[in-house]
Structure 1
Amino acid sequence: MFVKVFGYTLEDVPTGKDWLIRAYPDEGARKSALEIWLQDIRQMGEYQVRPRTFNVFCKDGSSKKILFRPMTIKGGMQFIVYEDITERERAEAALRESEERYRTLFENSLDAIVVMEPPDWNCSSANRAALDMFRIEGLQQLVSRPLWDLSPPTQPDGRESSAVAEEIVKQVLEEGGRLFEWTHRRDDGDLFPATVLLTRMEQDGEVFLQATVRDVSDYLRGEEERRLLEAQIQQTQKLESLGVLAGGVAHDFNNILMAVMGYAELAMEMVSPQSAARSSLREIITAARRAAELCRQMLAYSGQASFSLEPTDLKELVEEMAHLLKTSISKKAILNLNIERGLPPVMADPTQIRQIVMNLIINASDAIGDRSGVIHVAVGASRCDERYLKRTELHETLMPGLYVHIEVSDTGCGMDAQTRSRIFEPFFSTKFTGRGLGLAAVLGIVRAHKGAVKVYSEPGKGTRFRVLLPSIDGSEAGEASSAVEHGRMGWMGEGTVLLVDDEESLRALGARMFERLGYSVLTAADAREALDIYRERGTEIDFVFLDLTMPHMDGAEAFAELRRLNPDVRVMIASGYSEEDVAARFAGKGLAGVLQKPFTLERLEEILRGLAPSKVV
């Protein structure tokens, strides 16, 4: 056995000292080992000496780890039993390294990893990613409950989550593993889609399950955005192709109509007033004019119609068209108007905008049909960012900013997604033959005006069309009138205003007024958003313009919170109440000013003069 372990024969080591020298070539190590052995031997008679391990060099030069056990047998004989534990130590070290590697992977994994144990397959451990994914503060909230407890009662396909999970566990125990899709529920109630790899594991004869969960919300969201982008590109290309086709047909057809109408009118001049042919010629001319109107709609769709652009007040235009169309819509439809005042003008062709309004209202009337319903027409203003404009029907690159919108909604039959995808195609119609260019013309006119169209519709829930047209400032509306107004004011402010109002149209209008007076404007839809903005950019903001009445947190509460953030903050309050009442409510609290709604630009200028540095221009 000695020869098998160390490789030395008795001839190689005739004395113990020779073997010791070879096993420990280093004199210091040899001396240390010898002292320990001799000490253990001396103490064996007094009490049991614990085993010791030593690294020993063998004949072939290799090193082995040996376990030495000093022993005493009956009769007082003392000797040492040795055991080669090299491989066992190596295996244990490899096991420790493997366990450490697994623990590192377990803890550092970006996926949630949950271990479940029999018989109920409750969770026994989980990594940090699992706690974050399920929004659980501590492991104790997860253990002793199965993973499918963190799921809605039913999956999207209608099956009970617990029953499906039971089937999956049974299959994994038999087959070893399964990858599947699952809808989980976070501890705060939010649902999220996930892929789950459930694996059967075994250690020391014990079976357990390991679930690796990956939240695929971002992936699916990205796929949906990519799909929408591809659909938008395809729709844009289709509309452009149809526009080119419609424009080409309209141009050629106009040339033919010119000949038909011209010769028909010449023939009218040549025949006698009493001629029976005159009525036929008159019908030819009428039909040609109708065809010419059809061509104009085709040209409008293709964006090639000739427009006469001028500053246009949409309020007056829509009120006029709605009044004229009341007699043309369904007798069972009620036409309601909601038109804001003080809207900025748009640069548009009034005739073409009338065409938009007429087509949208007639389309709404057709959607209501013979049933009772309501057509709602609204005109307002809103600030549109790049993200919102990209999701409109044209999908073209438009400049973010203030847009005036015409919105026509109805309580009619609504549309499914397939119908919605085709409503702007020329000659597509769900109505009787002869319709189909109305909405196509609307799209063309809006495109020519650098605007956008947004459509909301569901079957049985009606339809809403929103046409967005870019507003213009005073300089675009007319240099002369701008110069007069600018000269009258003669004052421009400087700095940044944080404008807070829950009404979208009022935020847009207020922002334009402040910008007209020389200020940069930040806007917030409510007090909470305003506080977040002020925390981030308070050093840039010269004063805050607060609406007094807002949901969640009113102007008074917001004012108090702003003062906590910055005791020197300057705040103006706008309210429908009288300035005196509001000022009395905030007496002694350091309010910078009060403005009663509705207010004029001149009144706003008057208040601002005392708040910030200004320049006369």
Structure 2
Amino acid sequence: MLFSVTRQNRYVIPGILLTGLAVSLTGYWFLSDPNTDHGLASVITCIASLVITLLLAALVRELLHRAELVENAVVRRTTKLQEIQNKLEGDIRRRENIETLLRTSEQQLHGLMENSPGAIYVKDVDGRYLAVNRRFAELHGRPREEFIGRNDFDLFPPELAARVRKTDAQVMAGAEPLEVEESFQLVDGTHINLVHKFPLIDPTGAVHGVGAIATDITERKHAEAEVRESRRQLESLLGQLPGMAFRFSNDGKLTPVYVSRGAAGLTGHTARDFLEKHISLDEIIHPDDRQRVRTTIATAVKKRRSFEVEYRLTDRANREKWVLERGQGIHDDTGALLFIEGLAIDITQRKDAESEKLLVERRLLEGQKLESIGVLAGGIAHDFNNLLTGIIGNANLASLDLPPVSPIRNNLKQIELASQRAAELCQQMLAYAGKGRFVIQAVELGALVKTTVPLLQSTISKRAKLRFDLQPALPAVMSDPTQLRQIIMNLVLNASEALNERDGEIAISTNLVRPAADWFDGAALSPPEMNMEFVRLEVRDSGCGMTPETIAKIFEPFYTTKFTGRGLGLAAVLGIIRSHRGGLIVRSVVGKGSVFALFFPADSALPVNPSPIRSVTITPWKRAGRVLVVDDEPHVLKVAASMLSNAGMTVETANDGYEALDFFRAKPESFDLVVLDMTMPRLSGEETLYLLREIRPGVRVLFMSGYNRREVVDALPGRATLGFMQKPFTLQALRENLQYMLG
């Protein structure tokens, strides 16, 4: 550039000036001649040239200055243009990158939309579809082109279109996402979509459309409905169960997750009480069972087994119930315990039934044992009484032939006394078996106790203090006073021995009671009938007491904790009470004492059968007559015949019922009396009686037996012609019975 302000141009102006000056001087030199007229002109010309040169230099200077300014401006503009160019190039590259990203995003978005399992669409503010994906078009069974540019009213029924537009409007108005369920009627049925709608917002914040992603939840809704129905059915089923279904979370606190409404029936607490933690199942389990239940469940869950445990709980009304709980642990795939679930049912009635069954079985076994012992005792007593009859009878007969002062008479008396003691033992055996001899009459227990006091005082330890609490004016009981005295004596003697030579008290009381239904639970003996009033006789001591094991054995024959040789003792007491249709309760605490409570019916449940009053003479009774004696025991038959002969009777003997019938049939009117044993082989005494009456209806019969007179005679018809004589009997007893039967 000519005028470029460079290092070389800075000498242009001085050069111009020097050139002009040189030109002026040269012209002046050539033109100036002092000797000519052209000298002034030359000077002027020289000055003019110089002026022009100066002006030209100034002009050139200005031009150079302006050129420099222009050049600087051009440089600045060029730099700026370069910067703009660089910026534009950067913007172009960024735009190209953005366009690439946009194309990639569009491709990704398109891929997502096309491959999404959900139906996706985009609408403008007027509700026109701008885009829909393949799933949306397939769901509605139309090509996607049919949706673009059209609104819901163009495509769907008015009711559906109105619902869709309403939710679209809510989304755009609130500029907030919204999740709704929309149902569509399609060719294959009704479909339910879970639609997530969201507003489309431009950079200015203005809403310019709405987008949505719809997921077909038809199968899920059907499954939920099935689950709800299954749950309802399960709830209904569990609600009918007599118990509580539960599921507890394994969170360390066993938080209840589910409790059925059967909880109210089982525990008195509602399911809500458990779920809201107002009460827990562990709290209401009986303290004695709680640890056992925990251990059982923990052990089963640890071994991944089901569990079954029975325990007691206390319900809201403070009632104790028996519960059977069955359940299991629920584990995840890793084996971690998630829940404990199960079912607890009320088994109180079953437990009561089992207890009742055990009680009945115990009573049955006891009854069978007693029956077996009774049969044994009865058989022994029968045979023993037959032997004693021979011993006592022969001793009586032998004493008749001795002088009054004979020393042998005393020996015979001792034989008779020993035999009487043996007979008393037989009576105890029969009493235990419930087949003892009774003289039934109305007895007032209080009065009987008072008359027994002297005997009691002489029987018990001197260190024992007797105390009486006898309720006055008690109803009478139908009983044998001798047997009742035996009971009182036995109980008081046992109470005295329980004091162990220590100071103590024995209290005897009587009162009238009506027992509750559960009084005799666990009793030693329950009355056959309990819906009545009973007179209670209670003997209480402050002695050493008994263990449950001892109580279970005290009624066994010959059992004792003191010494041997006591006899049947309490076993006979039990038999006597049983025969009186009574009850017996025993309570005892070791170190504190024992209580025996006896219950006798306070009405005429037992038939009244007082012994007839017999008038006997002091002089031995004799009368001529003919007697038929029947017994299967030869020694009894022989001694009875001898004793009857001594009483003046003519005697015929028979070894059994058939032989007796032969004798009697031959001369029925010749016999004044038949003395008949009740227990014989081939033909019993009762059967023999009926056959004798067929031959002669009014025949008089005197039975012999070691059993209860009431049991033997009172059950037979025609008692006016019947008598009874207890084995073993003395000659005097035989004479009295003959006098009673024959007058």
The yes-or-no answer on 1:33 pairing with 2:157 is yes
Output the CA distance in 2 between the equivalents of 1:253 and 1:381: 40
Q: Taking structure 1 as reference, are residues 409 and 102 closer, same or farther at Cα in structure 2, changes over 3 Å only? A: same
Q: Taking structure 1 as reference, are residues 414 and 121 closer, same or farther at Cα in structure 2, changes over 3 Å only? A: same
The yes-or-no answer on 1:172 pairing with 2:298 is no
The yes-or-no answer on 1:90 pairing with 2:219 is no
Q: CA deviation at 1:387?
A: 5.8
Output the CA distance in 1 between the equivalents of 2:470 and 2:158: 105
Conserved? CA contact 2:506–2:540, under 8 Å: yes
1:301 to 425, 432, 445: 432
Q: CA deviation at 1:238?
A: 1.8
1:53 to 183, 192, 196: 183
Q: CA deviation at 1:91?
A: 2.6
1:226 to 335, 338, 357: 357
Conserved? CA contact 2:520–2:526, under 8 Å: yes
1:289 to 403, 420, 435: 420
TM-score, normalising length: structure 2: 0.51
Output the CA distance in 2 between the equivalents of 1:68 and 1:114: 34
Q: CA deviation at 1:418?
A: 3.5
Q: CA deviation at 1:241?
A: 2.6
Output the CA distance in 2 between the equivalents of 1:51 and 1:138: 33
What residue identity is the alignment partner of 1:143? E
Conserved? CA contact 2:511–2:537, under 8 Å: yes
Output the CA distance in 2 between the equivalents of 1:232 and 1:43: 81
3-state SS, counterpart of residue 336 of structure 1: strand
Any stretches of 5+ residues in structure 1 without a counterpart?
18-29, 479-617
Q: CA deviation at 1:256?
A: 0.8
The yes-or-no answer on 1:255 pairing with 2:386 is yes
Q: CA deviation at 1:207?
A: 3.8
Q: Which segment is superposed worse, 449-458 or 108-117?
A: 108-117
Q: Please list, as runs of the form range in 1=range in 2, the aligned pairs for 1:514-593 lying within 5 A after superposition.
A: none
Q: Taking structure 1 as reference, are residues 262 and 391 closer, same or farther at Cα in structure 2, changes over 3 Å only? A: same
Partner of 1:437: 568
Output the CA distance in 2 between the equivalents of 1:42 and 1:237: 89
The yes-or-no answer on 1:404 pairing with 2:528 is no
Any stretches of 5+ residues in structure 2 without a counterpart?
1-133, 148-153, 173-177, 202-207, 610-743
Output the CA distance in 1 between the equivalents of 2:600 and 2:576: 11
What CA deviation, in whole Å up to 9, does each residue of 1:401-458 have, x standing for no partner?
2222222122233333343334333333334222232323323333333333332234
Q: Please list, as runs of the form range in 1=range in 2, the aligned pairs for 1:339-350 lying within 5 A after superposition.
A: 339-350=470-481
2:251 to 85, 102, 119: 119
Output the CA distance in 2 between the equivalents of 1:404 and 1:44: 93
TM-score, normalising length: structure 1: 0.60
State which structure, 1 or 2, has the greater radius of gyration over its C-alpha atoms.
2
Output the CA distance in 2 between the equivalents of 1:16 and 1:249: 116
Q: Taking structure 1 as reference, are residues 297 and 149 closer, same or farther at Cα in structure 2, changes over 3 Å only? A: closer
User: Percent identity between the aligned chains?
Assistant: 32
Q: Taking structure 1 as reference, are residues 378 and 31 closer, same or farther at Cα in structure 2, changes over 3 Å only? A: same
3-state SS, counterpart of residue 255 of structure 2: strand
The yes-or-no answer on 1:382 pairing with 2:508 is no
3-state SS, counterpart of residue 544 of structure 2: coil
Q: Taking structure 1 as reference, are residues 400 and 190 closer, same or farther at Cα in structure 2, changes over 3 Å only? A: closer
3-state SS, counterpart of residue 426 of structure 1: coil
Partner of 1:143: 276
Q: Which segment is superposed worse, 275-284 or 237-246?
A: 275-284
What residue identity is the alignment partner of 1:369? N
Q: Taking structure 1 as reference, are residues 432 and 53 closer, same or farther at Cα in structure 2, changes over 3 Å only? A: same
Conserved? CA contact 1:121–1:146, under 8 Å: no
Conserved? CA contact 1:123–1:146, under 8 Å: no
Q: CA deviation at 1:231?
A: 0.6
What CA deviation, in whole Å up to 9, does each residue of 1:477-504 have, x standing for no partner?
99xxxxxxxxxxxxxxxxxxxxxxxxxx
Q: Taking structure 1 as reference, are residues 56 and 435 closer, same or farther at Cα in structure 2, changes over 3 Å only? A: same
Q: CA deviation at 1:63?
A: 3.7
| Count of aligned residue pairs for this structure pair | 453
Q: Please list, as runs of the form range in 1=range in 2, the aligned pairs for 1:175-574 lying within 5 A after superposition.
A: 175=304, 178-184=307-313, 186=315, 192-197=321-326, 199-201=328-330, 207-210=338-341, 212-271=343-402, 277-384=408-515, 388=519, 392-398=523-529, 400-472=531-603
What CA deviation, in whole Å up to 9, does each residue of 1:237-268 have, x standing for no partner?
22223223212221221111111122223333
Conserved? CA contact 2:399–2:409, under 8 Å: yes
Output the CA distance in 2 between the equivalents of 1:208 and 1:140: 20
What residue identity is the alignment partner of 2:226? A
Q: Taking structure 1 as reference, are residues 357 and 65 closer, same or farther at Cα in structure 2, changes over 3 Å only? A: same
3-state SS, counterpart of residue 434 of structure 1: coil
Output the CA distance in 1 between the equivalents of 2:385 and 2:479: 25
Output the CA distance in 2 between the equivalents of 1:172 and 1:423: 47
Output the CA distance in 1 between the equivalents of 2:380 and 2:366: 21
Q: CA deviation at 1:32?
A: 6.8
Q: CA deviation at 1:383?
A: 2.4
3-state SS, counterpart of residue 327 of structure 1: helix
Partner of 1:601: none
What CA deviation, in whole Å up to 9, does each residue of 1:544-563 have, x standing for no partner?
xxxxxxxxxxxxxxxxxxxx
Q: Taking structure 1 as reference, are residues 145 and 173 closer, same or farther at Cα in structure 2, changes over 3 Å only? A: farther
Partner of 1:65: 191
Q: Taking structure 1 as reference, are residues 134 and 391 closer, same or farther at Cα in structure 2, changes over 3 Å only? A: closer
Output the CA distance in 2 between the equivalents of 1:333 and 1:313: 26
Partner of 2:23: none
Looking at secondary structure, tell me which structure has more helix per residue.
2
Q: CA deviation at 1:283?
A: 2.9
Output the CA distance in 2 between the equivalents of 1:275 and 1:387: 64
Output the CA distance in 1 between the equivalents of 2:380 and 2:456: 30
Partner of 2:114: none
Q: CA deviation at 1:73?
A: 11
1:130 to 235, 258, 263: 263
Q: CA deviation at 1:341?
A: 1.2
Output the CA distance in 2 between the equivalents of 1:233 and 1:315: 34
Conserved? CA contact 2:243–2:265, under 8 Å: no
Q: Taking structure 1 as reference, are residues 386 and 219 closer, same or farther at Cα in structure 2, changes over 3 Å only? A: closer
Conserved? CA contact 2:327–2:342, under 8 Å: yes
Conserved? CA contact 2:467–2:505, under 8 Å: yes
What residue identity is the alignment partner of 1:150? E
Q: CA deviation at 1:290?
A: 1.1
3-state SS, counterpart of residue 112 of structure 1: strand
Output the CA distance in 2 between the equivalents of 1:152 and 1:38: 60
Q: Which segment is superposed worse, 299-308 or 251-260?
A: 299-308
Q: CA deviation at 1:291?
A: 0.7
Q: Which segment is superposed worse, 142-151 or 351-360?
A: 142-151
Q: CA deviation at 1:318?
A: 0.8
Conserved? CA contact 1:71–1:78, under 8 Å: yes
Partner of 1:527: none
Conserved? CA contact 2:452–2:485, under 8 Å: yes
Q: Taking structure 1 as reference, are residues 209 and 121 closer, same or farther at Cα in structure 2, changes over 3 Å only? A: farther
What residue identity is the alignment partner of 2:184? F
